[in-house]
Structure 1
Amino acid sequence: MSNLKDRGSEALPRPAVGKAVLAEFRRTPLLALIVFVPVVILLEQTVPEAHTWLFLLSVAAIIPLAALLSRATEAVAAKTGDTVGGLLNATLGNLTELVISLAALQAGQYLLVKASIAGAIVTNTLFMLGGAFLVGGLKHHLQDFNRVNARFQASLLFLATIAILVPSLISEVDRAAPAAGFSQHLSLGLSVLLIAVYGLGMLFSLKTHRELFASGSHVDEDEKPWPLPVGIVVLIVVTLFVAMVSEIFVGSVQVAAQRLGMTPAFVGFIVVALVGGAAEMTTAFSAARANRLDLSVGIALGSAAQIALFIAPVLVLVSYFVGPEPMSLQFWPGAVAMMLIATMAATLLSNGGRAAWYAGVMALAVYAIFGLTLFLLPPSA
């Protein structure tokens, strides 16, 4: 431990660390919200029944943690390249969704789990991708990105959406008693298949055909990333805090949602998806501003594909051990329609390999239509 400390101090002296921290706070004023992290943890220990305050404070606490997580991931991505960096951002960013879904799964809140899965897919493909196009396009007239990578991720996402569509269609066609057992068995088999496809997809993009996924962006060198050791340490520490705050969020979200007049479907589809994807959004938007649209597209579509191909199947498998009963991949029709539309929209927007700000406006408009529909006419349980 002392050797590690010595190496860290040699790489970055203490005065330099202090200056770097101050510069980071000046660059990202939202980091001032970091004070809510100990506040929400202390409040949960002293007043656990204050669910509304815990819900609001946990949301405020996740925002600066997400910013720190994105900056630390940028430091690692600068050493690994945009493809691996996008995969790393997607993996760490989806940690919050996974923690929230596991807690809801254990409590038997399957509607909240499925709404958060569908919402995360739609949020990443429309809100995150559209926001990156808009934010980057306001600074740069036109931005290029690798359309091969975008098509690949969109194809994976379309495959996963079809796998989710099949159990939902069967449930609508056959309402007989054996259909439920058949749907669960089908979901189990599809989950194993999707995980295998996701693993082979990583092998394809990162190993056998990695030359197809080379960056097409022009990188601005305005901001220097953190040193790699600092980035790794911050990643580990902040990830632990994200997990802690996410647990508090899960414990308060149900009661707080009822008091605020929101249904579990709206909370999962909109609130949980936005809060859980805050880290990825921060990185995707800042990368787009820096003219690294490959990284933004990789995070947005890669994260959505990872949720559909890995997170959702893993939750189905884990439900056999931690849930009151096995969870299926059967979603309500509205969620399936929104996922299909979001996938097709992302495919159309990323097909040309170039982006402008108005493309982001169109994607955000579709997302706003979904959000308004769910808020005014939420699906029944």
Structure 2
Amino acid sequence: MKVLKYMLIFIPISFVAKFINASPSIIFILSCLSIIPLAGLMGEGTEEISFYSGPKIGGFLNGTFGNATELIISFFALKEGLFEIVKSSIAGSVIGNILLVVGASMLAGGLKYKTQYFNQKVVEVSSTMLLFAVIGLCIPALFTHTVNPNMLNTRYEGLSIFVAIVMISIYALSLFFSFSTHKDLCSSVHEHEGNAKWSLKKSILILVISTILIAIESEFLVTGIEPITESLGWSEFFVGIILIPIIGNVAEHSTAIVMALKNKMDVALEIAIGSSLQIILFVAPVLIFLSLIFTPMSIVFNEFELIALIATVLIANSVSHDGESNWLEGIQLLAVYLIIAASFFIL
């Protein structure tokens, strides 16, 4: 976390670069370096608030604000009409959380402990919900990829809105499930350790300031996406599916690895799978609704994104079935992630 605080120096540097009309590629890089520590501060702020609100609500806030960075970046991408970047970042978040974060957590924890155990029932509930969510997200895409294009009309865009309404309804019901009817099943066995370092007022203030600065930096970042993809030869798919999810969730990712090193694999998996679930059931529908302000965005993914998403979620279900993990499983997940990343890099 100390390294992230040193990176805050990139915030004023990015503002100066924007003021002097520096190259969009330079502004893009500076914005990326600025968003990383701001996302860390946001995560730290929500963690401090959880000392006052309790671990359950704190965990929910941590997941919500952990995805806020990506939501803000995607909003400005929507504004610029970069729909492929937005959809790639949705898919990339799920793929990154399951393969990269869970893989790195299992590897780090497995090198320290021979075998790590987690609550099989809790993880199974989340991973099963994730499977249904991804299936729902993929249906519009499967429909458009399998039906004769001549038979399609503009009504299929309305299907995306309908799916978004269903998704966000399921998300609301899942909150009711975990906070009300089955709160004992979904409660974490790990309570907070230590005491709050910040007051509640300071925590909220830092959270608000971080959110505002992330919004500004996100606008800088989005304006530099097209120039940097052209200058470096990167594909928009690579930026959306690999780069943006890592930048937006770096603090959340590091927290999961730290939890695994403390032999709290329950928490590490809850962070990764819970974040993926929220991306699909909440962030994706919200982005569909926000796109109506500008140009309506359909929720149609390309074939390779579909395959990567479905394979990732099947892996999540496979990993959760035995209630234990080791370093070899972590390496296997990371290997799959590297193959997917390399494939999108050469597109």
In structure 1, the partner of 2:47 is: 74
In structure 2, the partner of 1:280 is: 252
Distance 1:282 1:238, change over 3 A: farther
In structure 2, the partner of 1:358 is: 328
The one of 253, 262, 278 aligned to 1:290: 262
The one of 346, 349, 354 aligned to 2:316: 346
CA contact (8 A) 2:51 2:195 kept: no
Distance 1:356 1:69, change over 3 A: farther
The one of 176, 198, 211 aligned to 1:227: 198
Offset of 1:78 from its aligned partner?
4.2
In structure 1, the partner of 2:127 is: 154
The one of 297, 308, 320 aligned to 1:327: 297
In structure 2, the partner of 1:257 is: 229
The one of 270, 275, 282 aligned to 1:303: 275
Offset of 1:248 from its aligned partner?
1.2
Query: Matches of residues 159-174 of structure 1 in structure 2 within 5 Å?
Result: 159-174=132-147
Offset of 1:251 from its aligned partner?
1.4
Please tell me the residue identity of whatever aligns with 1:140: Y
Distance 1:140 1:86, change over 3 A: farther
Offset of 1:80 from its aligned partner?
4.6
In structure 2, the partner of 1:55 is: 28
In structure 2, the partner of 1:314 is: 286
In structure 2, the partner of 1:92 is: 65
Query: Matches of residues 94-109 of structure 1 in structure 2 within 5 Å?
Result: 94-109=67-82
CA distance in structure 2 between the partners assigned to 1:282 and 1:239 by the alignment: 19
Q: Which has the higher mean CA deviation after the structures are superposed, 63-72 or 258-267? A: 63-72
CA distance in structure 2 between the partners assigned to 1:180 and 1:127 by the alignment: 38
Distance 1:281 1:54, change over 3 A: same
CA distance in structure 2 between the partners assigned to 1:88 and 1:33 by the alignment: 24
Query: Matches of residues 83-232 of structure 1 in structure 2 within 5 Å?
Result: 83-216=56-189, 221=193, 225-229=196-200, 230-232=202-204
* TM-score normalised over the length of structure 1: 0.84
Offset of 1:33 from its aligned partner?
1.2
Please tell me the residue identity of whatever aligns with 1:208: T
Structure of larger gyration radius: 1
In structure 2, the partner of 1:7 is: none
CA distance in structure 2 between the partners assigned to 1:148 and 1:80 by the alignment: 25
CA distance in structure 2 between the partners assigned to 1:50 and 1:329 by the alignment: 33
Aligned length: 346
Distance 1:129 1:79, change over 3 A: farther
Offset of 1:220 from its aligned partner?
9.2
Offset of 1:270 from its aligned partner?
0.7
Distance 1:84 1:306, change over 3 A: same
Unaligned regions of 5+ residues in structure 2, if any? none
Please tell me the residue identity of whatever aligns with 2:321: N
CA distance in structure 2 between the partners assigned to 1:182 and 1:50 by the alignment: 41
Offset of 1:118 from its aligned partner?
0.8
Please tell me the residue identity of whatever aligns with 1:375: F
CA distance in structure 1 between the partners assigned to 2:204 and 2:146 by the alignment: 50
SS in 1 for 2:29: helix
CA distance in structure 1 between the partners assigned to 2:320 and 2:261 by the alignment: 18
In structure 2, the partner of 1:22 is: none
Unaligned regions of 5+ residues in structure 1, if any? 1-26
CA distance in structure 1 between the partners assigned to 2:44 and 2:307 by the alignment: 35
Distance 1:80 1:105, change over 3 A: same
Offset of 1:169 from its aligned partner?
1.6
Q: Which has the higher mean CA deviation after the structures are superposed, 141-150 or 167-176? A: 141-150
CA deviation profile, 1:84-135 (whole Å, cap 9, x unmatched): 3332222111112111211111222111111111111111111112222222
CA distance in structure 2 between the partners assigned to 1:180 and 1:92 by the alignment: 37
CA contact (8 A) 1:40 1:54 kept: yes
The one of 20, 25, 28 aligned to 1:46: 20
Please tell me the residue identity of whatever aligns with 1:124: N
Offset of 1:259 from its aligned partner?
0.7
Root-mean-square deviation (Å): 2.1
CA contact (8 A) 1:220 1:290 kept: no
CA distance in structure 2 between the partners assigned to 1:303 and 1:208 by the alignment: 21
In structure 2, the partner of 1:20 is: none
CA distance in structure 2 between the partners assigned to 1:67 and 1:333 by the alignment: 34
SS in 2 for 1:322: coil
Offset of 1:156 from its aligned partner?
2.0
Identity of aligned pairs, percent? 33
CA distance in structure 2 between the partners assigned to 1:147 and 1:134 by the alignment: 19
SS in 2 for 1:128: helix
Distance 1:30 1:314, change over 3 A: closer
* TM-score normalised over the length of structure 2: 0.92
CA distance in structure 2 between the partners assigned to 1:265 and 1:340 by the alignment: 17
Please tell me the residue identity of whatever aligns with 2:273: L
Please tell me the residue identity of whatever aligns with 1:108: G
CA distance in structure 2 between the partners assigned to 1:124 and 1:82 by the alignment: 21
